[in-house]
């Protein structure tokens, strides 16, 4: 779809989130963890945007800034045209309902002993979205929308399978009809078949409810499968952003290429020909990231300039951006 015809739901500009590192008995600040280091992106209404990268690259921190669980160090975040990055807790109150989060672990993010109906119904009461008469119907409807039997409202989380628990988490998130849902690695650690079912559920919900979603994952293939566009993140920065298809067919950043090369393909012939690039070294420490391009110490095509200058995220094709001077 042509981007110019779509409406921007979220716009993130120059977002930074630095955490102080404190030492000693006086808890003096001795440095900063640059968890998110100046990123820009937009999320269109009714789009799933994937944010993909290794553990520690800054995905969760980005999600927590956008949902304003964190107040960013700097930068701006617009939600439906309203700047929310510097809002106070009081100002955020009417906004809270608009952003939902599905966490990685449904067991620690919801009270395990509580009944499913109460878990899903809670946000309806908190946000005064029910007059009482249709409360039960609304819960049944929400359970139905995530593929669960409405009779499950009387069960507790402990009685459910991991996949069912995550469905409950999705239903709870959807209850206040948020305009943005942030899914933080929602299926990692689950059986592959359960993962597939949940991913397909999100896909269906995007269609049926016009869901807009920021999907955080370490799994590039999954990110590409579920998302309309994918942003690849490395060491607190976005290194490449493109439509899923374009990223699959024409990856340009050396880090994206390395990630793709590390992903097994189901076709045995193709799989035997797959050229696996092993990146030397480890992901950088966000307290002391490399100068210039954060990826340069591990990059197979780095030149002198990469040590000095941060490459801008530049447009190289329709809806395709890359932060590499050599790409």
Ligand X SMILES: Nc1ncnc2c1ncn2[C@@H]1O[C@H](COP(=O)(O)OP(=O)(O)O)[C@@H](O)[C@H]1O
217 binds Mg ion (CB under 5 A): no
Whether residue 279 contacts residue 285, with contact meaning beta carbons closer than 8 Å, is answered with no
Residue 60 interacts with Mg ion (CB under 5 A): yes or no: yes
In the region spanning residues 227 to 286, those forming contacts with ligand X, defined by CB under 6 A, are 286
Distance CA(205)–CA(65), nearest Å, equals 24
296 contacts 237 by C-beta, under 8 angstroms: no
Give 116 or 216: the residue with its C-beta nearer to ligand X: 216
Closest to ligand X by CB, 234 or 321: 234
Q: Taking contact as CB under 5 A, which single stretch among the options 4-12, 57-65, 241-249, 315-323 is the one that binds Mg ion?
A: 57-65
Structure tokens belonging to residue 245: 């298809």
- Compute the least distance from the CB of residue 35 to Mg ion, in Å: 10
Residue 117 has which token pair? Answer: 């109906």
150 binds, among ligand X, Mg ion, none (CB under 5 to 8 A by kind): none
Residue 35 near ligand X by CB under 6 A: yes
- Cα 181 from Cα 139, distance rounded (Å): 19
The span of 56-64, 129-137, 189-197, 219-227 binding Mg ion (CB under 5 A) equals 56-64
Decide if residue 62 touches Mg ion (CB under 5 A).
Answer: no
| Contact predicate 232/253, CB 8 Å | yes
Site string for Mg ion, 15-54 (x = CB under 5 A): ----------------------------------------
CB of 140 to Mg ion, least distance (A): 33
Burial class (CB in 10 A: 0-12, 13-18, 19+), 315: exposed
DSSP classification of residue 98: T
Q: Does 58 bind ligand X (CB under 6 A)?
A: yes
Per-residue binding letters, 280-299, with ligand X (x by CB under 6 A): ------x-------------
Distance of CA 81 to the CA centre of its chain: 20
Q: Does 32 bind ligand X (CB under 6 A)?
A: no
Q: CB nearest Mg ion: which residue?
A: 60
- Between 61 and 244, whose beta carbon lies closer to Mg ion? 61
Say if residue 269 is exposed, middle or buried (CB neighbours under 10 Å; 0-12, 13-18, 19+).
exposed
Among 14, 55, 154, 291, contact with ligand X (rule: CB under 6 A): 55
- 308 bridge partner residues: none
Q: Which is it for strands 314-317 and 320-322: parallel, antiparallel or unpaired?
A: antiparallel
Q: Dump strand ranges (E) for 93-160.
A: 99-102
List residues near ligand X by CB under 6 A: 19, 33, 35, 53, 55-61, 286
């Amino acid at each position: 779809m042509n981007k110019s015809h779509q409406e921007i739901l979220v716009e993130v500009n120059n977002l930074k989130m630095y955490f102080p590192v404190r030492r000693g008995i006086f808890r003096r600040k001795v440095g900063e963890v640059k968890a998110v280091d100046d990123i820009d992106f937009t999320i269109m209404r009714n789009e799933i945007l994937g944010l993909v990268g290794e553990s520690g690259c800054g995905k969760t921190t980005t999600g927590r800034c956008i949902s304003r669980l964190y107040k960013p160090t700097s930068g701006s975040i617009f939600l439906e045209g309203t700047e929310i990055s510097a809002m106070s807790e009081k100002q955020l109150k009417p906004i809270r309902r608009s952003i939902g989060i599905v966490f990685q672990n449904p067991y620690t993010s919801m009270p395990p002993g509580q009944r499913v109906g109460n878990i899903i119904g809670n946000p309806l009461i908190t946000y005064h979205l029910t007059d009482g008469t249709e409360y039960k119907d609304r819960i049944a409807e929400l359970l139905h929308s995530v593929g669960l039997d409405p009779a499950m409202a009387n069960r507790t989380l402990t009685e459910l399978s991991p996949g069912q628990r995550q469905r409950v988490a999705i239903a709870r998130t959807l209850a206040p009809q948020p305009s943005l849902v942030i899914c933080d690695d929602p299926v990692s650690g689950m059986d592959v078949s359960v993962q597939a079912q949940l991913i397909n559920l999100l896909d269906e919900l995007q269609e049926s409810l016009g869901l807009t979603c920021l999907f955080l994952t370490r799994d590039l293939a999954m990110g590409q499968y579920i998302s309309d566009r994918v942003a690849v993140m490395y060491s607190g920065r976005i290194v490449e952003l493109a439509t899923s298809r374009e990223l699959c067919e024409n990856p340009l950043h050396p880090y994206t290429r390395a990630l793709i090369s590390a992903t097994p393909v189901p076709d045995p012939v193709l799989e035997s020909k797959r050229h696996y690039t092993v990146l030397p070294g480890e992901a950088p420490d966000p307290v002391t990231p490399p100068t210039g391009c954060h990826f340069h110490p591990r990059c197979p095509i780095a030149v002198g300039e990469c040590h000095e200058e941060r490459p801008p995220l530049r447009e190289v094709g329709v809806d395709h951006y890359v932060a590499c001077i050599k790409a």
